[in-house]
Structure 1
Amino acid sequence: MKWKDGISLLVPTQNSEQTVELCLRSFAEFPDEMIIVDNGSTDRTKEIVLDTIRELPNARFFDCPELKDLYHNRQYAFEHSNFGWVMRIDSDYVAYTSGSHNICRLRERVLSTPKGLRPVALSVRQLTLFKDIRHIGIPREKRAKGAGKYVQGPLESLPARIVQRYPGMRFQRNGRWEGVRFQKWLKHITIDDIYWFHCALKSDRDYLFRSERTNWRESGDFKRYPTLESYIREKIRGMYGTDDIDEAAALYVREYIEPYLMEYRPEEWLPYPDLLQEILASGGRL
């Protein structure tokens, strides 16, 4: 099958009102098409997306609350895509839009990647902010083994983030993680340059839910636990000694997130992406 030359950008959204506009605006010039799929937002995310994409002629939005998992979201977006390179991001990524880290430079690198006998998968490093715009994870090598496992260290790499489309390609759950089918068969290349920040600026409740989402899926007991919240309500008494989700979430963050954070210093790492710098300059917060 012959696919169009270019890049399809897949953007899943769910309760990401804090970052989704920055994400879409910052990646606007990168892809040939941007496919945004929402699976069940209950905040203002969909409203913000629809307002933002009025200025993005290459963007399409699909409202699909029936999609249960992230890989279902990505597969749905993939099935509506048209170009030979497929890039999956999250709606809390904020890209550089100018300078040496401009996301459009990544576009040039992707489209100039030589074709070979095997499809290519490009891994890309990213820098992740936690809790707010001014904190980053302590490097993993400076922690006890396994400590703060949900807090990414600086400049960690994302496997198979950009994939050259191939027959039989589809998104699926690979153990505890999601990815593309036949991932080990691909030719993997790592790009060390940073083109975006991952702004994991979640509420305490969101951090707790994220930590238990995969455990809920792996339990497979959806009759007993039809929703993630029902699973968490069952577990927090034994885990945190309380029946209150917000109290449990605060305890979770205090124990598993905050001890593994440090202040982010742009002069020691990288300058903030342009849109984040605008927020800081105006005295705003994320």
Structure 2
Amino acid sequence: MRTPVSGLARWVCGWAPALGLVTPASARPMGVSALVRARDEEAWIEPSLRSLEGFADEIVLVDNGSSDSTVERARALVGRLGLEVRIDSAPGLDHTALSNRVLELARFRWLIRWDADCVAHTAGPNALRELRRRLLELPPWRHVCIHPAAVEVAGDLFHRVPEIAVRYDAHVVTYSPALRYETAVTRAGGRPIAIEFLRLPRYYAIERWPTPAIFHVNVKPARRMLLRHFWLEWWAERPAMSLQEYALQRARKEWGAANLDDAAATFTARYCRRLVPFDPAPYGGYPALLAPALAERRFHVLYADGAIVGRSDVGPRA
């Protein structure tokens, strides 16, 4: 488990690289490796990877067994972006092992954990490249973990969850041989859930970058939403059944679902009913790379008598 470390302790330990006690960040060439884990993200993979132009020096993408066109769409960008794109496959790894696999393949000093459903501003004061300027300002020997702001939309591009609009769970971190992703099991709602975390040595300084450059697009097909809902519990419990079987078993018990499609439709409607409208204005508007999806409106929340009643996954309103 993680052990809390005070700010003073981190400040003191932060001088260890300068004193030669640990490997400095400057042991690796200056640059940014984008660590991308992907599985069935065909809707967002192209704008997600394009967002990294001007910020990252390489994209290291490891696919976790996609059944859609995620890998093909990513491969189509190889040689077309202004940075190197390397693609690997690891369908049998669990979430934490997958993260460590991507970590091991990275080559540059700075690592950004980049989800395949993240899309960033590429121009203007909120552009992701402004974060790169911040990285260049830091002492080259120093180990730092920066948590950038991530604006989240959910259900469709025009709504969000009511609890929070901006998250800080993403991270940009200097490489150290001691970095490692680990899994912790905790409880939520009376059931065990598995949580992945990055274990940071004490010599890392921690800070936030509040500029809203990144949008986390939590907009998935209905079945993906259903499986994601039960995934942390399935991972923690490790039952002798697939995630699909586990999700259907739970959905039958909790909602009386007849099959996975029925369960997915039920869950998506329940999830969307609690959403609130999203205003992009405080965050510099939508990233330009989302323009095609905004026009297409493949996913859109449905209203009746002023209240959300569900979501359509088949395209724009007639």
TM bucket (normalised to shorter chain) is 0.7 to 0.9
- Residue of structure 1 aligned with 2:87, choices 38, 42, 61: 61
- Contact residue 75 and residue 170 of structure 1 kept, 8 A: yes
Which residue number in structure 1 is paired with residue 261 of structure 2? 246
Structure 2 counterpart of 1:147: none
Aligned residue runs from structure 1 range 46-85, under 5 A: 46-56=71-81, 57-67=83-93, 69-85=94-110
Contact 1:131 1:203 in 2 (8 A): no
Q: Deviations over 1:6-55 (max 9, x none)?
A: 21110111000000001011112211211011010001111111112231
Select 1:123's aligned residue among 142, 147, 171.
Answer: 147
Larger-gyration structure (1/2): 2
Tell me the alpha carbon deviations over residues 42-73 of structure 1, each in whole angstroms, 9 at most, x when there is no partner.
01111111112231341111122222x22222
Alignment of 1:216-235 (within 5 A): 216-221=234-239, 224-225=240-241, 227-235=242-250
Q: Give the 3 Å change call, closer, same or farther, for CA 246–279 of structure 1 in structure 2.
A: closer
Corresponding residue of 1:208? 226
Residue 137 of structure 1 corresponds to which residue in structure 2?
Answer: 161
Task: Please state how far the C-alpha of 1:253 moved relative to its aligned partner.
Answer: 2.3
The 1:81–1:11 alpha-carbon spacing in structure 2 relative to 1, beyond 3 Å, is same
* Cα-Cα RMSD: 2.0
Q: What secondary structure sits across from 1:83 in the alignment?
A: coil
Q: 1:254 Cα shift?
A: 2.4
Task: Verify the 8 A CA contact 2:182 2:197 in the aligned structure 1.
Answer: yes
Query: Is the contact made by 1:236 and 1:248 (CA closer than 8 Å) also made in structure 2?
Result: yes
Tell me, in whole angstroms, the C-alpha distance in 1 between the residues paired with 2:60 and 2:178: 20
- Shift of residue 244, structure 1, vs aligned partner: 1.2
Distance in 1 separating the partners of 2:207 and 2:199:
17
Report whether the alignment pairs 1:164 with 2:178.
Answer: no
Q: Report the secondary structure of 1:168's partner residue.
A: coil
Is the CA contact (8 Å cut-off) linking 2:153 and 2:160 kept in structure 1? Answer: yes
In the alignment, structure 1 residue 110 sits paired with structure 2 residue 135: yes
Percent of residue pairs identical: 27
Q: Identify the range of structure 1 (6-15 vs 262-271) with the bigger mean alpha-carbon deviation.
A: 262-271
**TM-score normalised by length of structure 2:** 0.77
For residues 172 and 195 of structure 2, what CA distance do their matches in structure 1 show?
16
Instruction: State the shift of 1:206 in Å.
Output: 1.2
**Scaled by the length of structure 1, what TM-score is found?**
0.85
Q: 2:287: which partner in 1?
A: 273
Partner of 1:20: 45
- Secondary structure of residue in 2 paired with 1:55: coil
Cα distance, 1:113 vs. partner? 2.5
Deviates more, 1:78-87 or 1:92-101: 78-87
